[in-house]
Every structure is written in structure tokens, then in C-alpha cells.
Amino acid sequence: MNRFDDFLNEDFDGETPDTESRILLEKLRDLEDAPPPADLTDRIMRRVQAGKPPEKSGVIPVFRRWAPVAAAVILILGATPVLLGQFGPDQPELAERLPEQNAAEDPVTVAVAPENPLPGTYVPPEKVAAYFEQWDADLVNEMETYAGQAPDETTALMAALPEDSLGYGYYESPYEDPLSALVGF
């Protein structure tokens, strides 16, 4: 008795299977195998060696092989202008401006950090405070210089500044704040 007959004997609890069942199961046993693709072993071994995703025959493997390289090139080409600052938020334009122009918009930043005159640059509070202390001292000196004389417009303006407008990292004067000026201060 061969293995297949042993199986039938076991599966049918020792009974003889009916003819139809036996024919059917023999047909199942004799199903022919389809030949796997000739290069399947090679592709498996390449994947094993490299841990790559499945390869297909024809054009697709070429595409898959070079897809990461193409993606990297596209990424680099796309990122280069940004890295070079060409597409930055108006940075070259601002950098080319004269310090006075920037000062008009953001006097604190430019005065405290003239080496980096871009609006929005973070300036530590202590540095701002030191700047205003110096500014205050200059103002006092200027007022002493002009003591007994009629104050000019600038001196009068500085003297009118409230004390708490100094030393907080931003300039609160309604006269120099473009937004405040717009709303009518």
C-alpha cells in the first residue's frame, strides 16, 4: 500500500472510499506543477543578498533599481534653490537693503544685532535692555547738552516716551509703530 492509499485509509476511517471520491482525490494528487519563472531563483537570491522588494522581469526591475537614485536626484535638484536661498522668504531682497531702511522698520533689531539685520531675528531681553540703557544715557546727555535751549522735536519726543516702553524687547512708541500709525495714533 502506498502513501496515498494510507491517506485514504486514514481519511475514510478504514473504509474503502467511494469511486467518485477516489477518482477526484487521485486527480488532485496528479495535478501538474506549473514551471516557476526561470529567473525566480536568481531574483530570490538577489533579494536575499540585498533585502530588496520583489523584482519583476522586464522594464519594471530597471525602474525599481534606479527609482531611489532618481528620487534622490529630484530631491536634491528641488532642494538646491531653497538651500541656496533663491526661494527664501524675501531674504536676498532684505539683505540687499541698506541698514537705514531696515532700521526704519525695525530699529531695535537692527541696532541691537546689526550683524544680522533681518526682521524677526530673536534678540535676548538683556541685550535689548542694555541697548535701551545706552540709548537712555545718550538721551540724558543730549538733554544736558541742550539744557536751557529750546528742545528740538526729537528731544521732546524722546522725553515724552513712557518709561515702561523701554527694555522689553520691542519698541512701543505709537509714532514709530507702522500699525499704530495706520490706525490713527
Partner 1 sequence: MTVTANTTISRDAERILRTIAGEEKAFRELVDEYGGLVYNFIFKMTRNPEMADDLTQEIFVKAYRKLDSFDRTRPFRPWLLRIASNTTFSELRRRNKVVSISTLEEENPVFEVQDTSETADTARIVEERLSSRLVLDAISALDPRYRQVLLLRYREQLSYEEIAEVTGAPLNTIRTWLRRGREALRQQVRGLLDP
Q: Which of these segments, 25-33, 72-80, 93-101, 135-143, binds partner 1 (CB under 8 A)? A: 25-33
| Among the listed residues 5, 7, 86, 138, the single contact to partner 1 using CB under 8 A | 7
Q: Looking at beta carbons only, is 41 or 101 nearer to partner 1?
A: 41
For 96-119, b/e burial (b = at least 16 CB within 10 A) is eeeeeebbeebbbbbbbbeeebbe
Under the binding rule (CB under 8 A), the answer on residue 28 touching partner 1 is yes
Of the candidate spans 15-23, 81-89, 98-106, 132-140, the one that interacts with partner 1 by CB under 8 A turns out to be: 15-23
Q: How far apart are CA 124 and CA 132, in angstroms?
A: 13
Q: Which residues contact 114 (CB under 8 A, 6 or more apart)?
A: 99
Asked if residues 154 and 136 have their Cβ atoms less than 8 Å apart, the reply is: no
Residues 92-151 interacting with partner 1 (rule: CB under 8 A): none
C-alpha cell at position 98: 541698506
Q: Is 14 in the site for partner 1 (CB under 8 A)?
A: no
The number of residues that bind partner 1 (CB under 8 A) is 35
Give the span between the Cα atoms of 118 and 107, in whole angstroms. 11
Q: How far is the CB of 47 from partner 1 (least distance, A)?
A: 5
Sites for partner 1 among residues 33-92 (CB under 8 A): 33-37, 40-41, 43-45, 47-49, 51, 54-56
Binding status of residue 3 toward partner 1 by CB under 8 A: yes
- C-alpha torsion 172→134→114→105, nearest 10: 20
Distance CA 171, CA 110 (A): 12
Return the number of the residue (36 or 184) whose C-beta is nearest partner 1.
Answer: 36
The amino acid at residue 76 is I
- Give the largest CA-CA distance in the chain: 131
> Does 175 interact with partner 1 (rule: CB under 8 A)?
no
Binding site for partner 1 (CB under 8 A): 3-4, 7, 10-11, 18-21, 23-25, 27-37, 40-41, 43-45, 47-49, 51, 54-56
